[in-house]
Structure 1
């Protein structure tokens, strides 16, 4: 059974999502099914079939998230002491192509949110950064060509 790395915050966010899907979302779908069922002939009732499909997708999502929580390997970045970049690191980078500074935290796949500076451990940038130290340069193959990032600092918070 493959472990799923995630931060404590990521695991808590998944639990909140599961609670929503099993509670409020499930009740809304059931109400929609009941309403569609009241319209009569189910064989030609598009609303009924759409609601049943949504119900199936919701239940599949619940099972997927529950499986990930069951296999979670919770990692507390604050407990890590390393000079190298590993999972959970918050890194300050200098984009050498644009001369701009970027801050990313390397997190689990389900917690990634680029708008909030959280990148997946499986992303090309993360893969290029893992194992590097302050002062190193990481080359990342991007759609618009190779990008280079100089590592300014590494923190585990």
Structure 2
């Protein structure tokens, strides 16, 4: 499997870093302390604190590994520094309308910071791929599970 860089906003990278630091510097030491205490209590086969603590440590270590890989592959791109603001690129907030004039506003962010409930769509999502490079007034078709849907780009903005 080839590794590829993953674009991410400065805020998204800061959130990854903060989560990593929280797990590594706060959560993990607490669990290690509990496991050490529980291990000193004798029989480990029936020691719930020990068993749960070891399980939690594995979960934390897996999450730390995942966050580490994400940060290693991340390429921080600041949308505020985008030169061509007339087209849709990474970090753009795009207002789109469908054929029924239902409007929707989405912001294109890194895949690791996507949150559909907050209208943050990942760079590699079908909608983001369809919108890339589009200008105001362009029509783009997105292949959805229910079938193709056409969107018109109404407005494009970038953070200052």
Q: TM-score, normalised by structure 2?
A: 0.83
Q: State the Cα distance separating 1:91 from its structure 2 match.
A: 0.6
Q: TM-score, normalised by structure 1?
A: 0.85
Which residue of structure 2 lines up, in the alignment, with residue 78 of structure 1?
A: 80
Q: Determine the C-alpha separation between the residues in 1 that align with 2:103 and 2:40.
A: 58
Q: 1:17 aligns with which of 9, 14, 19?
A: 19
SS in 1 for 2:143: strand
- Residues 28/95 of structure 1: CA separation in 2 closer, same or farther (3 Å cut): farther
SS in 1 for 2:103: strand
Q: State the Cα distance separating 1:96 from its structure 2 match.
A: 2.8
- Residues 47/81 of structure 1: CA separation in 2 closer, same or farther (3 Å cut): same
SS in 2 for 1:43: coil
Q: Determine the C-alpha separation between the residues in 1 that align with 2:96 and 2:41.
A: 58
- Residues 46/87 of structure 1: CA separation in 2 closer, same or farther (3 Å cut): same
Q: How many residues align?
A: 156
Which residue of structure 1 lines up, in the alignment, with residue 98 of structure 2?
A: 95
Q: Determine the C-alpha separation between the residues in 2 that align with 1:144 and 1:109.
A: 23
Q: Determine the C-alpha separation between the residues in 1 that align with 2:148 and 2:30.
A: 47
Q: State the Cα distance separating 1:79 from its structure 2 match.
A: 0.9
Which residue of structure 1 lines up, in the alignment, with residue 54 of structure 2?
A: 52
For 1:8-157, what aligned pairs fall within 5 Å after superposition?
Answer: 8-34=10-36, 36-37=38-39, 40-45=42-47, 47-82=49-84, 83-97=86-100, 99-157=101-159
Q: Determine the C-alpha separation between the residues in 2 that align with 1:92 and 1:49.
A: 51
Gaps of 5+ in 1: none
Q: State the Cα distance separating 1:77 from its structure 2 match.
A: 0.6
